[in-house]
Amino acid sequence: MRLEDKTAFITGAGSGLGREAATRFAEEGATIVAADIDGEAAEETLAQLEQEGHEGAALEVDVCDAAGVQAAVDETIAEYGLDIMVNNAGVSHQRASIEEIDESERDRVIDVNVKGVWNGCQAVIPQFKDQGSGAIVNTASLAGVIGAPQLGAYSLSKGAIVNFTRTVASEVGPHGVRANAVCPGVTDTPMPRSNRSEGEWEATKEEMSRYYPLKRLGEPEDIANAMLFLASDEADWITGHALVVDGGFSCS
């Protein structure tokens, strides 16, 4: 049990990578606080965990609201303590050239993806410093490492997360706290499925898989396993790292 007696706060836990991370972390012994802007989705994640005999809580949290994030983190610390923060909540946008993406859409993406990670880190760092331990895992993207045409605002936001994670790691390392990012390639989650029928998505998966050396897109468990590793004591001497999990796309 790699996370026995530890508590993990996971944002965006109501679906996709966040829900899968909650499941994997719970299987390894962690108490899960599932946070999501969709409170019902967070409750569904918790219900699934409880059906499997795991413990935790569900909270409705808007990661753009710094005070709300802080309150949720403080509530978690008071009830369970806190060892792991997974800043996973994120959004994307419709593919468009840079000049076609309007200011409001750009700001929406940056608010959730960048400010959300900032708020999560800022909320937990004092506690982690005080206790002399803690692991932060931020969900970035392959788009934040190599860029992605037609996804300019998304790439901007995820690149910011990669570099911010390095900054966090350098600041909190002397206090025994680690910070890393996971950078997924295209993964079969609700985000890339949006605005596509099931048939369209299956055709897209088949076409895109040709460009991956492992000949498939990612599955949520592929990314959750990477998050689990970075959060666990097995990664005790790894910090400031952006772990690319992309089926080999970036080397092809």
Total number of domains constituting the chain: 1
Residue 236 belongs to some domain of the structure: yes
Walk along the chain (252 residues) and give the pLDDT tens digit of each residue: 999 999 999 999 999 999 999 999 999 999 999 999 999 999 999 999 999 999 999 999 999 999 999 999 999 999 999 999 999 999 989 889 999 999 999 999 999 999 999 999 999 999 999 999 999 999 999 999 999 898 899 999 999 999 999 999 999 999 999 999 999 998 887 777 666 667 777 877 788 788 889 999 889 999 999 999 999 999 999 999 999 999 998 987
Residues 80, 154, 211, 212: which is the catalytic one?
154
Residue 70: give its domain's CATH number: 3.40.50.720
Q: Does residue 154 have an active-site annotation?
A: yes
Residue 39 belongs to some domain of the structure: yes
What is the helix (H) or strand (E) element at residue 57, kind and residue range? strand 56-60
Nearest-angstrom CA–CA distance, 182 and 8: 16
Q: Give the pLDDT score at 206.
A: 82
Q: Give the pLDDT score at 134.
A: 98
Sign of the CA dihedral running 72, 76, 78, 79: positive
Nearest-angstrom CA–CA distance, 91 and 18: 13
Distant-in-sequence contacts of 171-175, Cβ < 8 A, 24+ apart: 171/125, 172/125, 172/128, 172/129, 172/134, 172/136, 173/239, 173/240, 175/128, 175/129, 175/132
Q: Give the pLDDT score at 35.
A: 98
Residue 208 belongs to some domain of the structure: no
DSSP β-bridge partners for residue 244: 183
Structural domain containing residue 55: 7-188+221-245
Nearest-angstrom CA–CA distance, 228 and 243: 12
Residue 162 CA, chain-centre distance (Å), reads 12
Place of tokens 């946070």: 35
Q: Give the pLDDT score at 126.
A: 98
Residue 209 belongs to some domain of the structure: no
